[in-house]
Amino acid sequence: ISAIPPDALTLHFMAPGASQQFPDGLVHQKIVPCTIFSQVLFGSYEITCGGCTAAIQAGEAFLTPANRIMTIVHHADSERGGYMGARWIHFHVTLFGTVDFTSLLDMPLRLEAGKAGPIGQVVEDLLAVNPGEADDSLHWLVWRQEQAFTVLRHLCASAPMRPESLNILQHSERLTSVFSHIRAHMAEPIDVAHLADLAHMSRSRFHAFFKEHMKCPPMEYVKQIRLNEACKLLISS
């Protein structure tokens, strides 16, 4: 793991939001190309994702990984005009430009209030920024990156690393050039033989090595990365 370069983590997308006007019984079913943290302010959620269902009460939050179908039911607070309120952040951070950072973590679907609170405060701080202040200044850029990595730090404290993730990290030096090439040439033809050359392996050995550590064949991985990038572009531009 010590071989991972300090610039291996990249923030690609981050969007906070909040609403106190969700009507009782509102159902959202969706799939998004980023990780979602959503904290209940009042009322409650019922969230189903990855075959699991959890009830999320006020102060608690749910965590969902990228590219998973989820069903969210909003339950109102009768004392708040029959509405439910929440604040959230959608974000996508990669390792080596293509590996979704949160995919390396065993994230719980439900995050208790004590652990959700610090991330919720980051969301609140991001929402408090005046749009006129969010320019291209270095101060804004650094502060925004700081908030994103604060979220990741709290996630790491609440979600242990998946056992299989250690394999990816231990062999990352061998695959770094492969990941970089995929990111740099995403909109161009990519040849698995060239990826094998970058990893200094034969094509057959590379195919087996990649599938063992990334849990899918190389070109299937490229397809997933391209689809994820297309989804991000659709929702952000």
The yes-or-no verdict on residue 1 having pLDDT over 60 is no
State the number of CA atoms in the 13 A half-sphere of 225 facing the CB.
29
Q: What is the predicted pLDDT for the residue at 133?
A: 66
Confidence of residue 229 (pLDDT cuts 50, 70, 90): confident
Give the model confidence (pLDDT) of 17-59 as tens digits. Answer: 999 999 999 999 999 889 999 999 999 999 999 999 999 999 9
Judge whether 31 and 67 are in contact, CB under 8 Å.
yes
* pTM for the whole structure: 0.85
* Percent of the chain surpassing pLDDT 70: 96
Rounded to an integer, the average pLDDT of 93-122 is: 93
Place of tokens 């970058």: 198
The candidate with the shortest Cα–Cα distance to 89, out of 135, 157, 140, 148, is 148
Confidence of residue 90 (pLDDT cuts 50, 70, 90): very high
